[in-house]
A and B are shown apart, each in its own frame.
Chain A
Amino acid sequence: MPKFSNLIITAGIVIVTVAVSLGFVSNNPENIILGNWEEDSWTYEKTNEPSMFYYDLTTVRKHEAENWVFGENNTITFVKNGEILGKGTWIIKGRGHILKLTHEDGHIERYDIKELNDNEMILNFDIGMESRGIAKLTFKK
Chain B
Amino acid sequence: MLRNDQKKRSTKDNLMLAGSTATAAGMVNVASVVAFFAFTSNVTGHVAVLAEEIVKGHWHQVYIVMIWLLLFLFGAFLANYLIYSVVRKGTYVAHSVPVILEIVVLLGVAFYGHHYYSETLRETEWLVGALLFCMGLQNSLVSTITGGVVKTTHVTGLFTDLGAELSQWFHPKTESTKILKDRLTLRFTILSFYLFGGLIGGWFFLRFDFMVFYLVAAVMLFVAYYDMTMMVTKKTIEKIKRPAHEIQEQN
Within 8 A of B (CB), among A5-48: 15-16, 18-19, 22-23, 25-30
Q: Knowing A15-B66, A18-B66, say if A30 contacts B61 (CB, 8 Å).
A: no
Within 8 A of A (CB), among B59-109: 59-68, 70
Q: How many residues of A are counted as interface, with CB atoms below 8 angstroms from the partner's CB atoms?
A: 22
B37 within 8 Å of A (CB atoms)? yes
A63 within 8 Å of B (CB atoms)? no
B38 within 8 Å of A (CB atoms)? yes
A95 within 8 Å of B (CB atoms)? yes
Q: Give chain A's interface secondary structure class.
A: mixed
Residues of A within 8 A of B60 (CB): 22, 26-29, 96
Q: Knowing A15-B70, A19-B70, A25-B59, say if A96 contacts B64 (CB, 8 Å).
A: yes
Asked if residues A93 and B63 are in contact (CB atoms below 8 Å), the reply is: no
Q: Knowing A91-B119, A94-B36, A94-B38, say if A16 contacts B70 (CB, 8 Å).
A: yes
Of the listed residues A22, A25, A29, A94, the one surrounded by the most CB atoms of chain B closer than 10 A to its CB is A94
Q: How many residues of B are counted as interface, with CB atoms below 8 angstroms from the partner's CB atoms?
A: 25
Asked if residues A95 and B49 are in contact (CB atoms below 8 Å), the reply is: yes
Residues of A within 8 A of B160 (CB): none
Asked if residues A26 and B59 are in contact (CB atoms below 8 Å), the reply is: yes
Of the listed residues B53, B60, B61, B120, the one surrounded by the most CB atoms of chain A closer than 10 A to its CB is B60
A69 within 8 Å of B (CB atoms)? no
Residues of A within 8 A of B122 (CB): 28, 30
Asked if residues A93 and B70 are in contact (CB atoms below 8 Å), the reply is: no
Residues of B within 8 A of A27 (CB): 60
Of the listed residues B56, B58, B62, the one surrounded by the most CB atoms of chain A closer than 10 A to its CB is B58
Which residues on A are within 8 Å of B, measured CB to CB? Answer: 15-16, 18-19, 22-23, 25-30, 91-98, 115-116
A-B contact pairs, 26 of them (CB 8 A): A15-B66, A18-B66, A22-B63, A23-B63, A26-B60, A26-B62, A28-B121, A29-B121, A30-B122, A91-B119, A92-B121, A93-B38, A93-B124, A94-B37, A94-B38, A94-B124, A95-B38, A95-B49, A95-B61, A95-B68, A95-B128, A96-B58, A96-B64, A97-B37, A115-B56, A116-B58
